[in-house]
Structure 1
Amino acid sequence: MQVRIWVHLKPLLLALALGSLMTTTMAETPQEAAVKKLIEPRLGDGVKVDAVTKTPYLGMFEVRVGKDIFYTDASAKYMFVGRILDAQSSRDFTKERMDEISKVKFTDLPLDLAMKSVKGNGKRVIAVFEDPNCGYCKKFRKTLQEVDNVTVYTFMYNILAPDSAVKSKNVWCSPNRDKSWDDWMLSGKLPATAPASCLTSPNEKVLSLGQSLGVSGTPTIIFADGSRIPGFIDATALEAKFASIK
């Protein structure tokens, strides 16, 4: 059962507390170190706690394991799994932290493993992880047909079916990768079988990349500011997201 904890803090106090929580370069306090030492062995063999941070909520501590977070008390006796929301505004503090933790440094992405397409001036840039057998990825391809002035880097992330990697390799080995991908995703036209001479495919490297970034489903859209949106969005939502990026 997932737990939601509703809290209300004065705006100034909350802003100061959250600012401290999101400053990842701060040294771990002795109390945080003590909680980490207590909670880690209680999570099972091989589980490594990356960070413990005291929160402004009810004396709880945020525990981060990879890209997941949960909460515990100072004695590490109880675990709270769920979301913390402001009772008056419904602001989701847990989601904000998850978004912060999952940010990607866009310039570090190995874009040579992706297909590149440019529409208009291409100033707005995204990377998207897609599987050739993903229905929502095909819907998102239609979304991309409705927007202009965008550069799209597509990582073929083959996680849904045994033949996903085969289809992706056929696309990768085609003379025009981007057209071949759109032909399949938008029109259902299968790419030609890859020639025997085409021995390269980024499949394994893209799988490793996606796993390292915590990409668990397709489509997953990564924006130039490092934020991400998992799942399908329509053109209106995509334009709104672009407008929100400073």
Structure 2
Amino acid sequence: MSFTRSKIFIACTLASSLLITACSNSNNDEKKQGTLTASAPATGQASNISERNAQQRLINTLQQHFKKANINAKVLDIKATEVPNLYWVNLEGMSSVYATADGKYIIQGDVLRLGDSKIHNVSENLQSAANKKLLASLKTEDLLVYKAQGKTKHIVYVFTDASCPYCHKLHEHMSEINAKGIEVRYIAWPRGEQFMPAMESVWCSEDRQAAFNQAIAGAPLAPATCKNPVRAQYQLGLNMGVNGTPAIYNQEGVYLGGYLSPEELAERLNN
């Protein structure tokens, strides 16, 4: 037996009152047509549908409130947190925020759980999962890659800007970082429009590493133009909540920190 999305909700709700444990679909043709099927307990399926509906209502409410307040923000994703009636909201080009279930309040910053030996950031897993997808979408040829020496133990993504002093400091230790088996993948993230041309020149150079080394050293860089990913990478950083450089992430999308010494970076990757 098969049901459309609306019918299965009603059927499962009725079934739960009769202690029927599951709704199922054995018609493969209708599965291909996008009908909703369930093999889980009816109450669980109804709960999942209810949660999705609640999330969509919250997205709509937030977008309406943003529009009324003249806030130019677009909701990319929304997920329930472990805190009752509090949702994590991923915004395009902005740091993620929290929103109450009714959409009346948004909270900027971190929500921390106490009670254990370590403080737990409620959104860390949610944000890192979103970051992982974004980082995985990058093409290696669009990055500036410094490969590990010997066996590659770790890969890190670093949002960088040739004009950033702490990026200079990190880059000075590149050989030490690579010697620890860490591959570094630089992502262009000019900290302002005035720094965009220099980063585009680096990315458009025939020898990207040599050009970046030259820019980091403060030497004049010959202007170069081409079709490049610099602005797209800058936008990706905004979507991940990057607000400064360097910003270091592991392959799982977890933010490791800003400037880190080779020893500190290796320690965080190994923990």
When normalised by structure 2's length, the TM-score is 0.62
Hey, what does 1:232 align to over in structure 2?
A: 259
Cα distance, 1:201–1:130 mapped onto 2, change above 3 Å: farther
Hey, what does 2:209 align to over in structure 1?
A: 178
Cα distance, 1:226–1:49 mapped onto 2, change above 3 Å: closer
| Matched-pair contact (CA < 8 Å) for 1:118–1:151 | yes
Cα distance, 1:154–1:48 mapped onto 2, change above 3 Å: closer
Q: Which one has the largest radius of gyration?
A: 2
Q: Kindly tell me the number of residue pairs found equivalent between the two proteins.
A: 209
Higher helix proportion: 2
Cα distance, 1:235–1:60 mapped onto 2, change above 3 Å: same
| Matched-pair contact (CA < 8 Å) for 2:249–2:255 | yes
| Matched-pair contact (CA < 8 Å) for 1:70–1:80 | yes
Superposed CA deviations along residues 186-218 of structure 1, whole A, max 9, x for unmatched, are xx3515525xxx64362xx22212313424322
- TM-aligned CA deviation for residue 42 of structure 1: 1.9
When normalised by structure 1's length, the TM-score is 0.67
| Matched-pair contact (CA < 8 Å) for 2:173–2:262 | yes
| Aligned residues with identical type, % of pairs | 15
Letter in 2 for 1:158: P
- TM-aligned CA deviation for residue 233 of structure 1: 1.6
Hey, what does 1:109 align to over in structure 2?
A: 138
Hey, what does 1:6 align to over in structure 2?
A: none
| Matched-pair contact (CA < 8 Å) for 2:145–2:184 | yes
| Matched-pair contact (CA < 8 Å) for 1:132–1:168 | no
Q: Match of 1:83, SS? A: coil
Superposed CA deviations along residues 106-162 of structure 1, whole A, max 9, x for unmatched, are 442122222332241251323322111101111111332322123323233333462
Hey, which bits of structure 1, 4+ residues long, moved more than 6 A? none
Hey, what does 2:226 align to over in structure 1?
A: 200
Superposed CA deviations along residues 41-63 of structure 1, whole A, max 9, x for unmatched, are 22225544344444432x32304
Aligned counterparts of 2:63 and 2:257: Cα–Cα separation in 1: 29
Higher strand proportion: 1
Structure 2 residue aligned with 1:42, among 57, 60, 65?
A: 65
Q: Match of 2:213, SS? A: helix
Letter in 2 for 1:42: H
- RMSD of aligned alpha carbons: 3.2
Superposed CA deviations along residues 198-246 of structure 1, whole A, max 9, x for unmatched, are 64362xx2221231342432222233333344521221221023324xx
Cα distance, 1:170–1:41 mapped onto 2, change above 3 Å: closer
Q: Which runs of 5+ in 2 are unaligned?
A: 1-47
Letter in 1 for 2:235: Q
